[in-house]
Every structure is written in C-alpha cells, then in structure tokens.
Amino acid sequence: MATADASNGTSIRNAIGSVLSFFILILIGVLAFSIRLFSVIKYESVIHEFDPYFNYRVTQYLTKKGIYDFWNWFDDRTWYPLGRVIGGTVYPGLTLTAGTLWWILNSLNIPLSVETVCVFTAPIFSAFASWATYLLTKEVKGPGAGLTAAVLLAMVPSYISRSVAGSYDNEAVAIFALIFTFYLYVKTLNTGSLFYATLNAIAYFYMVCSWGGYTFIINLIPMHVLLCIITGRYSSRLYIAYAPLVVLGTLLASLVPVVGFNAVMTSEHFASFLVFIIIHVVALVYYIKGILSPKMFRVAMTLVVSVGLAVCCAVIAILAALVASSPTKGWSGRSLSLLDPTYASKYIPIIASVSEHQPPTWPSYFMDINVLAFLVPAGIIACFSPLSDASSFAVLYIVTAVYFSGVMVRLMLVLAPAACIMSGIALSEAFDIFTRSIKFQLPYHSGHSHVHAGDASLDSTVESDNVSKTEKSDDTSKERSLKKNKKKEKEPVEKPLSSKSQVKRLLVLPFEASIIAIFLLVLLGAFYVVHSVWAAAEAYSAPSIVLTSHSDDGLHVFDDFREAYGWLSHNTDVDDKVASWWDYGYQTTAMANRTVIVDNNTWNNTHIATVGTAMSSPEKAAWEIFQSLDVKYVLVVFGGLVGYPSDDINKFLWMVRIGGGVFPHIKEPDYLRDGQYRIDSMATPTMLNCLMYKLSYFRFVETDGKGFDRVRRTEIGKKHFKLTHFEEVFTTHHWMVRIYKLKPLKNRIRGKKKSKSKASSSTGSKRKGSRRNPY
Amino acid sequence: MDALLRARLLHLALFISLLLSVLSHASSQELQIVNAERRIDLTSHIIKVYLTLKVENIGASPASEVNLAFSPSEVEHLAVVKAAATTGKKKKRTYVPLDVKSSEQPAGPNGTKYFTIILSNPLSKGETATLEVLYILTRSLEPFPAEISQSESQLVYYRDSAILLSPYHVKQQTTFIKTPSTRVESFTVVEPTKRASTEIKYGPYDNQTPYTYAPILVHFENNNPFAVVEELEREIEISHWGNLQVTERYSLVHAGARHKGVFSRVDYQTKQGNIGVSSFKHLLARLPPRVHSVYYRDGIGNISSSRLRTDFLKSELLIEPRYPLFGGWKSTFVIGYGVPVEDFLFESPDGGRYLNFTFGCPLADTVVDKLLVKVVLPEGSKDPKAVVSFPVEQRLETKYSYLDVVGRTVVVLEKRNAVPEHNIPFQVHYSFNPIFMLAEPLMLVTAFFFFFVAAVSYLHLDLSIRK
C-alpha cells in the first residue's frame, strides 16, 4: 500500500514537473524573442548592417521569382563587369527558411511583407535555439540543467549581438541548427535509435544549408567519436550515431550547390572520413573479439595490426602527397586562419581587414558571455561526475569552442551555446546541492527524508529529481519518450532511492553556508540578467544604418546612409554603376538597386584591389580606372564633420594594402609618415593627392573655415583644392555620404593637346594610348 | 520675336479663314458675351483662371446652355471647370453653382473643345446672366531654361491667348495675369497691354469675333515648389472593429526646371536664401482630426524627419523627404494613419452603411497625375456603390488581408490630373451584416480547438506496437 502511495505521489510530481517545465520553456521562448525586440522598439523594424541586406535582397528575389530562378540566379548588379552566380555561392538555408515562412503566412492570407518576415526570423530562431539547448542539456545532465541552460542561452549577449530583430544573417538560424544537430547526435548516442540518427543527418543538412560553420560539426563529432573509441567507450550506439551521419550527411551536404563536391574533396571534411574508417575497423575488431576466443583474438590482432599499419601508412602517404600538392593544402583561407591564427594577416589582407575576423580581447569575453565565463569550469567539473558519452561531448564542445573563439571574434558565437550549457549544468548542480543540504537539515524533514528521496518544495529539486530518473532510464536504454508515462511509473522508483541517498550523505553542506551560497548564486544570476538586458538594449540594438546621438536638445538622428541610397535609387539611371569601398556594396545593391563594382562577398581580390588602387591613386589615374570599369558615380563615406569613426579614411589603410598587394605601383610607405596614416599638415603628398582624400575633404574647409576633422581630431592638411575629373552630385545632410560623378570625356581641342599631355602624370600617359583609339 | 510674330499672324489668318465656316454654327447659339473679365493666377504651379462672363441672349428662342471653348493643349491639362451664376447686386450677391459637363459637340476650329454650362433658368430673349467660371490648369508652365544649376532661379513660360477663346461674339474683354514676383523676363504685347508690378493687363479689347486667338507668351520667375505626385494610391481600409486605416503611397517629383550639374551641400547649407530657391524640402499634409499611429516611411525604412501637430479640427503632418528635391529629382514614400471609424462611417436611412471621406491628395499645393482611391470594404459586404461629384473611373477588385477567406471587395476610383480642389468628400455605400465581424475570431477559435483536441487525443492514445 505504501509503495502504491509513493508511486502515485511521484507520478503526480512528474506530471506537475513536466507541465511546469513546459510552461517555463514557453516563457523562455517568449523571453528569447522579446529581448531581441529592443532594436525594433528603440529604432525601427529594419534590416541591420551589411550582410543582412544581401540576404534580404536574395529573399526578395526568391519570393518574387521562385525557387528555380533562385538557384539559377546570375546577379549582374554586382561585381561589374564580372557578375556573381548567387544560387551557387550562397548558403541558402536562411533565405529558404524566411521565404518558406513568408510563403506560409501569405497562403494563410496574412499579408506580412518580406522585410517584416526577415526582420523577425532571427528572434524566432533564437527561441528555437533556446529550446534546442534545453533538449541538448537535458540529454547531457537532465531537465534541471536543461532549463537553466535554456534561460542562459535565451539572453546570452554574444548570441543577442547576432540575432536581434533585423539582424537577418546566417548565424541567426545556424546557431539553432548547430545546437539541434548536437542534440540529435547526443540523443542518438543515448538511445541508439536509427530514427534519431536519420533526423540528425537531416539537421546536419539544414546546418550545411545555413552556414559555413557546419565544418565545426563535421570535425567536432568525429573528434568525439575518436575520443570515445580511445577511452574504450565504443558501443553500437556510438556506431549508429556516427556512421549514418557521415554517409547521409555527406550525401545531403553535397546537394547544397555552394558545398557540392567540397563535401568530399576539401580537407575540412577529411577528419570525418578518417574516423569513419577507424570506427569501422573498431567495430570489426569488436565483432571478431566477440566470436573468437581470447587467445585466437590476440594472434589475429597482431596479424591484422601489422598488415593494417603498412596499408594505412601507404594510404596516408598518398593522401598527404595529394593534399600537399594543392597550394592551400586543401583548406580554405578562413579555415586556415583558424588553424594558424597568423595566416590571414600574413597572406590574405582581405580576411584580416574584417574586424570580426580579428582575435577577441579579454573584455569582449566579459561583454559577450559575462558571468558564464566563471561558471564554465564548474560545469566542466560537473560533467566529469559522472562522465558519460553525452557529458564528454559537452566537454569537448566547450574546449574546442574556447579555442576557436580565441582566434576569431566572430566564433564567440559558437562558444556562447557551449558556455550556456556548461553554466546551466554548473548552476543546476549547485542549486541541487545547496537546496538538498538545506532540506536535509530542516528539523521536521529529517525523519522522512529517507522515504521521500528528492522530495522538496523547491522547483530545482523537483527538476533534479527528474535528472536522476532520466539518467537511469537512459542507461537502461529503454526510455523511448517522456510522454509515455505509463512505463516510467514503475521503473525508476527503487533504483534512485538507494543510490541517491548515499550520494546525498556525502554532499551535505552546513545550513548557513548553503543559504548564503544560494543567495550569492541568485545575485550572480541577477547580475547576468541585468547585463544581458543592458547589452540587448544598448550595445547590440543599433541597426548601424541609422545612428543616433543624445545631446542636450534631445535625440539626434543621423539617417545619412539611407538618404544617399534613396537619392541614388531615385535620381540616377537604373543601369548606372556605383563604385565604393566593398563595405557598402551589399547596401547599395539592396537599398539603391544600383550596380556596384565590389561588395561584401569578397570573392575576387583583384577586383577589390582595383577599386582600392583607384581610391589611392591621384585623380586622373583614378578617373581612368573608373572609366574603364564603366563607373558613373563614386560613393565615399566621410565622418569628419560629425565624428563618425568607421569612415573611408579610417579604412583607407586597407585600400592601400589590398591595392598594393596586386598593383605594386601603390606603395604603402608613400602614404605613411612615421608609420602612421595622417591627413593633417604632416601628411605625405601622395596621401594629400589621392582620390580618397580629395573626395572626402572636397570643400570641407568651407564648413567651419578651418577644416577640422572630428574623427582624426586634427585640421586637414590640404584645405583648398579643386576637382578636375569628378564633380560633387550629392552630399547628405551630415556629410556622411558623398557621391561624385565622373566628368564625361572632354572633347579634344587641338590647341590644348600639348599642354595637357605635359601635365599628365606618368601613370596617366601609359593609358593615354588606349583612350585615343575611338578617334 | 520675329518668328513669334509670324506664327501669331499665321494663327490669326487661319482663324479668320475658319471663321466664316463656323459662323453659322456659332450664330445658331444666338448668345453674345457682353463683358468678359479673366484673371489668371500664375503664383503657384497650379494655374487658376477666374472668368467672369456677362452673357446675353440675342436670339429668339430661350437658351439654356452656354459653351466654353478651350484649346486642345488646355483641355489636356484642365483639372477642374466650375461655374456659378451670380444673382443680385453688389452686396447681396449670391452664387448658384451650375453644372458643367464636357460637351459632345464636334470639335471646333483647330480642335477646339467645349465645356457646356447648363443654366438653371434658361435665358429668354434679351436677358443677361452673369457667370463666374473657375478653371484650373496643371503642368502648363514650361521651364525655360529647361535645366538650371543650383544657384539659378527658375524661369517659366506661360502660353495663352490675349483674347478669350470663345464660340460667341465678345463685346468687351480684359485679361489680368498675376505673376509671383516682379521679375518678368518678357511678355508678348497685344495692344493695349500694361504691366504694373506683379500684374500684366491685356485689354480692354472690343468686339472680337468668335474664335479669335492672339497667342501670348509670358516669361517670368516662379520659384514655387513644383511638387507633382506622379502616382498616388490611397487605400482606405474599413474595419468595423473601430478603425479606419489609410495608407497613401506617393511617388513625388519636382516637375520644374531640371537640376543640372553640381549639388553642393556646403552651398545649400550656408547660403540658404539664394541657393536652390526652386527646390523644396518640406511638404505639408493635412490629415483628418483624431489621427493615430501615423507613420512615414519608404521602401528602405522609416524617414525620421516629420512633425505631427493635432488639434480638434485638423491634423497637420509636416514631412521632409529624405533629401531636398531639386528639379527632376524624385522620391517615393508612404504615409499611413488610422482614424476612428465613427468619424467617417455612417448608417444610411435605408439600413446600409456609407463611408464619407475626402477624395483628393492631402498634400498642400500638389498636382496628382494619377490618383487611385481604393476603398477596402470589410469582408462580406455587398452592393458597393461610389458617389463622387466629378467624373472618375470606377472598378471593383478583391483583396485578401489578414485571414480572409472570400476576400474583401475593393472599390477603386481612378482620377487623372487631380488638384487640391478635388479634396471634397465622396461616399461609398454598401451593406454589411455585422455577423461577418465574428467570422475570423471564430475561425481562430475553431482552429485552436481542433489543435488542442488533437494534442489531447495524441497524448491519450498509445500508438506503440509493443505492449
């Protein structure tokens, strides 16, 4: 009778627990969604920054023209005159997701615009990501840790920075896909179910569609498999978790046009195939071990190992030779800069020039993951007691993620979920221990504690109770689904009773210490929440196309970028070509709908170098370069009047460096005085005569009479000059964007010819011959 | 000048030769104009012509119609013709509005088109009547030079006739032309002609035969904003839940002299008075009172420069396009707002409902080349009928909005060449059963109900094969 009562009690507690955690999960989803709406509330519902504009434009095309036209899309509005094959060079996951969302909504007659759908895709997927985190952490350490990790992920600043409403970038859906793939992998590992293995391959496919970061998965999982094999944890579940993923996953991945044969040919995928072979060998060994007697097995082992080693060496030698024959060793530039952090700055300035490819600083860790950084070690320790397949995976994940985030700021994003999972585990374990200690020392509870194991009024202990149960049921690998309560009722009652009560004895802490510790933990959590909300509201919500500043007379809005793009789109011919530094390429094509020479998809270094060379050349040479590219307008971003620091003058060193890398007549030292780029009176003549300087500061002196640049905090070097080959056609209200038009070819006047050729510079005279041709 | 004179002579000769052939037609009207006074207002880019006619019936039979003649180019740009009869003397003068319709008569000499004023009391023999006519011309000022730089002011040509084009004999007439400033480059002289500060007076001319035409050309400075909306789509969506949502999509252009060459921001900012005088950067939109949730944006997001003032009688929205508009520059934007439905939706005596809303463009002093007014009726409404006091093209469309099943009926009214004078109320009558208001909430309720039923039944079914 007593046991029936007890089982009844636990089932009710289970039911309440699962309903409670269901509602907590819903609230976490709401939290994850709504914390990202600061950008819409403080600014407006608009696409942010640079890359999202490209994705938005692609989505527009997709919704307008349909999927087949999208695959075949050759974009002639960019990289003029080369163009770009969009369908084959873009990760389509994000656009397809948003396109599908839009299509579903519109077929239900909910007429949301494509822009609205795109703006809110990222917050929606962060809610999904926090749910996926719950699932993954639940597989690792149980629902209590899962819920904690999900809450942490819902508001981790690092992830918020990439997924605020309007930040319509690949990472927004990719992080969800990443966590979900990991969850399915761990789930398969825990259950050994082929169903989950198949789902895992599909989730991996979605990840491949979404982000180039999928290589992280396809390297991390083999590493984990290898780790399991080495530590003697090989099981059939491991085989089921891994082998279908490699076969199905690779097949599916090669369906994505941008990956294609890369899925089998590049070195990023090499590890997975190697481990695939190893796991088969190991499986064979285990099989043979099962059917042979120990003595026979040892003989067979030595035979096979000696032959196998020889074959392996040969194969590896051949592979190494093949790989070594390719110049980048089969690795893409970005992957190489991950393995060798100094690679990019040495060989590929274009990768190094992107600020998000720089290594992070220590404050940025604190900014992006905040207190999680301190909780991670505790989580790692918790993962080791006891170490399971799943928790070893989590440990491996955090270790690799920490390394990668140390190389590139951008990959902080991969670290964030790992840090959340670890901190979730740590917090949940800590709460578990402290609340249990308190409960055991409460006087009226002590008598009953042996009977009602894990009974408590606090939520966290209810959850932790569930932890142990699911763990146990996982171990017996019979647990099929949480929803089927019927079976669960009987099984887990007895086992935890004995084992748990022993563990608890060991971990009882003094009553006062527990109370204080809980209080401190809550304080820590509160600090994290405050910091996250601050980061979401203040640090990461600015759309960067609209700038605001607070002054005494209220809010001041700098909407110059859109002013310029709006002007371009309405007042220039639809086929005019606009040259600007590549940062503004995506925005120009998306907002102004004008053809650009280079854009943020920096696939052609020479082309970018051409524009860089033009910007760093004197006016006439630049005019000739632009004329040869059919350019009609040149757009420069200038922050000197209002103090906008990321303008073209500050990016100028990259123009010189990239341009000089391809065209040797641009020499960086010509622009440097004492190793610095200067625009004041100390600047070099080359600097003062280059196009970028002239276009930025043309008639700037007339604004205040001195020409004081508020970004560089100095007076400019050359104040009064005229433009001979360009004319100003538009400057925005705060001078942040200036657009110049190339003057048309002059009619040749006989009398003037001589003096002109004398005046022209040495670089100009070389090209003069080609200009003479039409006449 | 010489060429002009020759052209004028040619015209005159042509008219006189034609005169004989049409004299019989005109005389059948048996009306004559005793006195005609015309005041042409050229101060903005919308030309207003006030015409006062004293008409006398000299025929035997009573006349009930008076014809107005317009040259083909005028007809093309004619936005409004209004007429009123004046009765009473001096201080007790009252105006009775009269119907004006486009006449179906065959075109007169040189393609002259007619508009017919229908008199309320037919004129019997020997009687006279005084008619006040207002007609408005758009896009009739031709910028010359056609392209100007930032620092120049805008000069335009205005072409007309010194003598009133009329199918009737005109005994005496004068024409006054009012220019916006005293700067008049040149004007054709048709004696007697006088110019005093901002006014040019042509006439008086006596006894002009029908269809006499004396072309004149006035070249003057006009720096008023030539704001033309090439296309305006106003969508008025009625919700019986209490809101009337208006969305207005503009494509605006500066139709004056085209901007040429450099746009220098430093000049524009420092020399406000004399740089870019013909450009404009503000527009004033008059919205109904009690507007809420006003937004102003374009394809690439919110435009942050606008100011809204509301009071009990009207709301004024001062909008600034993203950049100042110089000649030939274009801009597109959307203004949207909601107003309480009870201010504009009424029940008619026969049990139906009708919407009473302003027709034209809310922007002050703008011409709309193509105005589309779309009234989106609630889902399930029937028998839509639009009542507009001037001719418009009408058609019906269907629009699917939030969770619609059968779609909403849209009454589309299309008007070309609309001016602020078209900002008068129009009505759309329809019948609507309030039960349709509940259709969508009920649909959602049902959908969620079935979802929960499905979830409950799934949880209670054991689908496993093993027991």
CB-based contact B463:B425 (threshold 8 Å): no
Q: Which two tokens stand for residue A353?
A: 């020039």
User: Nearest CA of chain B to the CA of A482: how many Å?
Assistant: 11
> Which residues of chain B have a CB within 8 Å of the CB of A727?
261-262
Q: Is the pLDDT of residue A184 over 90?
A: yes
Give the pLDDT band of residue A762 (cuts 50, 70, 90).
very low
Tokens of A109: 């007659």
Each residue of A120-177: pLDDT tens digit?
999 999 999 999 999 999 999 889 999 999 999 999 999 999 899 989 999 889 999 9
What tokens appear for A126 in the block? 């962060």
**Alpha-carbon distances, residue B192 vs B1, B201, B203 (angstroms):** 18, 8, 5
Q: What is the signed CA dihedral for A277, A278, A283, A287, rounded to 10 degrees? A: 100
Strand (E) positions, B311-406? Answer: 315-319, 330-340, 345-347, 353-358, 367-376, 382-387, 393-399
**pLDDT(A743) > 50:** yes
Residue A470 scores a pLDDT above 50: no
pLDDT in tens, B217-263: 999 998 888 899 999 999 999 998 889 999 999 999 999 888 888 88
Residue with tokens 């790692």: A380
Confidence of residue B413 (pLDDT cuts 50, 70, 90): very high
Give mean pLDDT, residues A623-649: 90
Tell whether A721 lies on the interface with B, counting CB pairs under 8 A. Answer: no
What's the average model confidence in pLDDT over A630-651? Answer: 90
Check whether B190 has a pLDDT greater than 90. no
Name which of B300, B332, B401 is nearest A109 (Cβ-Cβ): B401
Residue A89 to residue A256: CA distance in whole angstroms: 10
Does the distance separating the beta carbons of A545 and B301 come in below 8 Å? yes
Cβ distance of B401 and A727 shorter than 8 Å: no
Can you spell out the DSSP letters for B247-282? EEEEEEEE-SSEE-S---HHHHHH-TTTSSTT-B--
CATH for the stretch B26-221: 2.60.40.1730
Q: Which residues of B touch A569 (CB under 8 A)?
A: 299
Burial group, residue A415, by CB count within 10 angstroms (0-12, 13-18, 19+): buried
The pLDDT-based confidence of A772 (bands split at 50, 70, 90) is very low
Higher pLDDT, A347 or B357: B357
CB B72 within 8 A of CB B62: no
Tell me what the pLDDT averaged over chain B comes to: 86
A723 near B CB under 8 A: no
The answer to whether A558 contacts chain B (CB < 8 Å) is no
Q: What pLDDT is stored for residue A357 in this prediction?
A: 76
**Do the beta carbons of residue A617 and residue A667 sit within 8 Å?**
no
* Banded pLDDT at A99 (limits 50, 70, 90): very high
Q: How far does the CA of residue A431 sit from the closest CA of chain B (Å)?
A: 32
Give pLDDT, residue B11. 58
Surface of A (677-716) touching B: CB under 8 A: 699, 702-703
Q: Which residue has the higher pLDDT, A606 or A442?
A: A606
Q: What three-state secondary structure class fits A706? A: coil
Is the distance from CB of B332 to CB of B250 less than 8 angstroms?
yes
Q: Which residues of B touch A546 (CB under 8 A)?
A: 301, 304
Alpha carbon separation from A755 to A758, A771, B135, B402 (Å, rounded): 5, 17, 62, 71
Contacts of B263 in chain A (CB under 8 A): 728-731
pLDDT range class, residue B448, cuts 50, 70, 90? very high
Q: Which residue of A has its CA nearest to B403?
A: A109
Flag whether residue A591 sits within 8 Å of chain B, measured between CB atoms: yes
B418: phi then psi, degrees, rounded to nearest 5: -95, 145
By Cβ distance, the residue of B304, B328, B402 closest to A559 is: B304
B348-367 pLDDT, tens digit each: 888 889 999 999 899 988 99
**Structure tokens, A395:** 């440990």
Closest Cβ–Cβ partner in A111, A483, A702 for B459: A483
How far does A35 lie from chain B, in Å, by closest CA? 22
Q: Which two tokens stand for residue A165?
A: 């409403």
Could you tell me if A306 lies within 8 Å of chain B, comparing CB atoms? no
Neighbours of A622 (CB within 10 A): 27
pTM (2 d.p.)? 0.86
In the stretch 474-503 of chain A, residues with CB closer than 8 A to chain B read 480, 483-484, 486
Residue whose token pair is 């009012």: B178
**Is 70 exceeded by the pLDDT of residue A537?**
yes
Q: Minimal Cα distance from B262: which residue of A?
A: A729
Residues 6+ apart with CB under 8 A from B380: B406, B432, B433, B436, B439
Please name which of A626, A628, A601, A591 lies closest in space to residue A612, comparing C-alpha atoms. Answer: A626
- Least confident among A351-360, A662-671, B175-184, B262-271: A351-360
Question: Looking at the partner chain, which of B270, B331, B404 has a beta carbon nearest the beta carbon of A109?
Answer: B404
Residue B462 confidence (pLDDT): 74
pLDDT of residue A441: 79
- Nearest CB to B298; choose among A486, A566, A733: A566
Residues in chain B: 467
SS3 call for B15: helix
C-alpha–C-alpha distance, residues B313 and A186, integer Å: 67
B100: left (phi over 0), alpha (psi -120 to 50) or beta: beta
Nearest CA-CA distance, residue B80 and chain A, Å: 31
User: Range with the lowest mean pLDDT among A7-16, A177-186, B377-386?
Assistant: A7-16
State which H helix or E strand residue B211 sits in.
none
Residue A555 contacts B where some CB pair is shorter than 8 Å? no
The confidence score (pLDDT) of residue B24 equals 40
Rounded CA separation A421/A225 (Å) = 20
Q: How far apart are CA A762 and CA A766, in angstroms?
A: 7
Distance to chain B for A190, nearest Cα, Å: 20
Chain B interface residues facing chain A, Cβ-Cβ under 8 Å?
A: 261-266, 269-270, 297-305, 322-323, 328-332, 400-405, 459, 462, 464
C-beta atoms of A46 and B405 within 8 A: no
Q: Is B145 helix (H, G, I), strand (E, B) or coil?
A: coil
User: Residue for token digits 């003096």?
Assistant: A755
| Residue B35, strand partner residues | B54, B172
- Per-residue pLDDT at B201 exceeds 70: yes
The percentage of residues in chain A with a pLDDT greater than 90, rounded to a whole number, is 41
β-partners of residue B386 are B428
3-state secondary structure of A606: helix
Dist. CA A139–CA A133, nearest whole Å = 10
In the 8-state DSSP scheme, what is residue A407? H
One-letter amino acid of B410: V
What value does the mean pLDDT take over residues A766-770? Answer: 39
Query: Closest Cα of chain B to A221: distance in Å?
Result: 32
Chain B contact present for A584, CB below 8 A? no
Rounded to whole angstroms, the Cα distance separating A337 from A358 reads: 10
SS3 B364: coil
Q: How far is A48 from chain B (nearest CA, A)?
A: 11
Tell me which amino acid residue A323 is.
V
Question: What pLDDT does A4 receive?
Answer: 57
Within B340-413, where are the H helices? none
C-alpha span between A248 and B109 (Å, rounded): 84
Q: With both helix axes pointing from N to C terminus, report the angle between A362-369 and A372-383 in degrees, rounded to the nearest 10.
A: 80
Give chain B positions within 8 Å (CB) of A26.
none
Q: How far is A487 from chain B (nearest CA, A)?
A: 10
pLDDT confidence of A671, banded at 50, 70, 90?
A: confident
Short-list A58, A53, A49, CA closest to A99: A58
Q: How big is the CA angle at A744 (ends A741 and A745), to the nearest 5 degrees? A: 145
Q: Distance between CA atoms of B338 and B26, rounded to whole angstroms? A: 54
Helix, strand, coil share of chain B (percent; to 5): 15, 50, 35
Q: Which of residues 105-144 of A touch B (CB under 8 A)?
A: 108-111
Query: Domain B227-441: what homologous superfamily?
Result: tricorn interacting facor f3 domain (2.60.40.1730)
Determine the residue of chain A that is closest to B458 in CA distance.
A483
Q: Determine which of A14, A571, A633 to mutate to test the interface with B (most B C-beta atoms within 10 Å).
A: A571
Neighbours of B429 (CB within 10 A): 16
Closest residue in A to B406 (Cα) is A109
pLDDT for residue A175: 93
Nearest to B406 by CA among B373, B432, B375, B436: B436
Q: Answer whether residue A456 shows pLDDT above 50.
A: no
User: Best mutation site among B235, B252, B300 for testing chain A: the one with the most A CBs within 10 Å?
Assistant: B300
Q: What is the pLDDT of residues A553-579, one digit of tens each?
A: 778 888 899 999 999 999 999 999 999
CB burial readout B284-312, b (16+ within 10 A) else e: ebebbebbeebebbbebbbbbbbeeebee
Are the CB atoms for A619 and A725 separated by under 8 Å?
Answer: yes
Contact pairs from chain A to chain B, CB under 8 Å: 81
CA distance B231 to B253: 10
Q: Where in chain B is the domain with CATH 2.60.40.1730?
A: 26-221, 227-441
- B442: pLDDT strictly greater than 90: yes
Q: For B304, which of A111, A557, A735 is closest by C-beta distance?
A: A557
Separation between Cα atoms, residue B426 and residue B388, nearest integer Å: 5
Position B401 scores a pLDDT of 86
Q: Which two tokens stand for residue A285?
A: 């060994």
pLDDT at A600 over 80: yes
A548 or B229, greater pLDDT: B229
B143 forms beta bridges with B156
Sign of CA dihedral A182, A187, A189, A190: positive
Kindly state the average pLDDT of the residues B423-441.
90
What is the rounded distance in angstroms from the CA atom of residue A341 to the CA atom of residue A591?
35
DSSP class of A4? H
Instruction: Give the three-class secondary structure for B300.
Output: coil
- Comparing CA positions, the residue from A37, A161, A169, A171 lying closest to residue A540 is A161
In this complex, the residue of A109, A546, A728 whose CB is nearest that of residue B262 is A728
Residue B412 pLDDT > 90, yes or no? yes
| A337/A330 Cα distance (integer angstroms) | 13
The top-scoring range by mean pLDDT among A57-71, A505-519, B28-42, B295-309 is: A57-71
Percentage of chain B surpassing pLDDT 70?
93
For chain A, the straight-line distance linking the first and the last C-alpha, in angstroms and rounded, comes to 109
Q: How far is CA A158 from the centre of its chain?
A: 10
A545 CB within 8 Å of a chain B CB: yes
Q: How many residues does chain A have?
A: 775
Say if A459 is an interface residue toward chain B (CB within 8 Å).
Answer: no
